[in-house]
Amino acid sequence: MLRRSLTSLSRGLSTYCFTTLQDLTQKQNFVRRLLSVKEASGLTFDEIASRLGVTNIYCAQLFYNQAQLKEETAKKLRRVVPGLSDSDLEEMGRVPLRCYPAEVLQDPTIYRFYEVITHYGMSLKAVISEKFGDGIMSAIDFNIAVDAAKDENGNNRVVVTLNGKFLPHTEHKDHLGKA
């Protein structure tokens, strides 16, 4: 009974632009399809992103169904990656189910980011507080990009830029007169 209620609820929500993907398995299958179409296009995330006017990471987020495809970008994406079907673009335009399998943290590249944040987290927080005051960096009003560089010895370097809006913590005022 509960499962039927949840299914009918999610069907109703999908009319309000929520994802029609019901679980992680459906999402994984959809992502595999999107990545297969991208691969067939012969284009990299950098190349697609450049043509769309978005960052390379945001472009990848679209293909991993972790970001909602906006209408203006969808029109460009249709031209850049013509193998995407109307139903692909329609689903990409819905509010996605932002989740991933727990095993993703076992990937060494992804785990390094976890280690970086764990290792540098308190220092990042301290410097942000010194520069801006008490608050956080938004992960919503946020851009991230990856670039390549060479160091002074000619070694390859990964450059990750995190650019988020500062959101100050606020004093909680009694706006309802109940305090």
Kindly write down the DSSP assignment for every residue of 148-165, as one continuous string: EEE-TTS-EEEEEEEEEE
CATH of domain 103-168: 3.30.1160.10
Is 157 an annotated catalytic residue? Answer: no
3-class DSSP state for residue 27? helix
Is 94 noted as a catalytic residue in this protein?
A: no
Domain locations along the chain: 2-100, 103-168
The pTM score is 0.76
What is the per-residue pLDDT across 2-27, written as a single tens digit (0 to 9) for each? 344 334 333 443 444 678 887 888 99
Strand partners, 158: 148
Task: Over range 132-161, report the average pLDDT.
Answer: 97
Query: pLDDT value at position 139?
Result: 94
115 is catalytic: yes
Name the active-site residue from 33, 115, 129, 130.
Answer: 115
Q: Burial of 81 by CB count in 10 Å (0-12 exposed, 13-18 middle, 19+ buried)?
A: buried
pLDDT of 41 > 50? The answer is yes
Q: Which is catalytic among the residues 11, 32, 98, 112? A: 112
